[in-house]
Amino acid sequence: MCGAFTCFSIFGNNQGMTPSHPNASDLFAAELLQSRQLGRKFANALAQPMALKSRSLHRFEAGVSLFKAGDRVAQLPFVMSGRLDAVVHVPGVPGGQIVPISFRAGEMAFLSYLFNQLPSGSDLVVGEPCTIQWLPLKDIEACLLNDQGLLLMLVRFLGQRLREVQARERSWAARGVQPRLCAGLVRMAADLPSRSDARTVVIATHEQIAVSCGISRPKASIALKALEGDGVLKLGRGWIEVLNLRGLIDRVG
């Protein structure tokens, strides 16, 4: 859903949000750009020792899961075109999902699999039709162990990724309760199926909405009541009807 205000990257039934234009946070935007630059530099440095040009191409349509949380991962995708989304499930929120990071052309979908045997902590899903090359973990690790320069590049990239995550958290925490709540409701509304009566009704309790937006239930309830008083929402037991979606979007900031 993109308007004249804030544009959010939407996948599936996300109930979190991933700001996708730099006005969300100048600091976060700068750190994200730096992460992408280092990630692409590292991937390019791996291209020759991993013989990327000789590897097969694989094409996938949007919505395909390359692997799910709990899977043992033996290979990572190098993105030639399109977009992959890491999808984290929100405990206690039915259908709640957040996309904390996406991978685009020229990037390798690094999560937390190198040099460990731990299962995946998230789904990796095709966000846009994409073309990838599969790179076995054992081959990547062998390249890193045989080339100190590559290993140092990886350490720098992971350090920058941590800075990006910290900047993202600061940007999110800096938002007030109402903008965070409105952003979550906008996302929920965007994921709803069409109704014959054209109403926009979110089936969720105040507690579920508070959890998905990272705020306390009392604060969520106060903010919801204020929005109802402004004519933006209508509150019911276990449901919320969005009466003015544009008004909700305007409050995201």
Task: Look up the CATH number of domain 176-250.
Answer: 1.10.10.10
Domain ranges of the chain: 22-173, 176-250
Q: How far apart are CA 240 and CA 222, in angstroms?
A: 14
Q: Do domains 22-173 and 176-250 have the same CATH topology?
A: no
- Please give the single-letter amino acid code of residue 249: I
Q: How far apart are CA 144 and CA 57, in angstroms?
A: 23
Q: What is the pLDDT of residue 7?
A: 30
CATH 2.60.120.10 is held by the domain 22-173 = yes
Place of tokens 């998230």: 122
Which of 74-83, 159-168, 194-203, 239-248 has the weakest average pLDDT? 159-168
100-122 pLDDT tens trace? 778 889 888 877 778 887 888 88
The answer on pLDDT for 163 being more than 90 is no
Q: Which residues contact 71 (CB under 8 A, 6 or more apart)?
A: 119, 120
Percent of the chain exceeding pLDDT 70 equals: 81
50-100 pLDDT tens trace? 998 899 999 999 989 999 988 999 999 999 999 998 888 766 554 556 767
Q: 192-220 burial string, b = 16+ CB within 10 Å, else e?
A: eeeeeeeebebebebebbbbbbbbeeebb
User: Which tokens go with 23?
Assistant: 């006005």
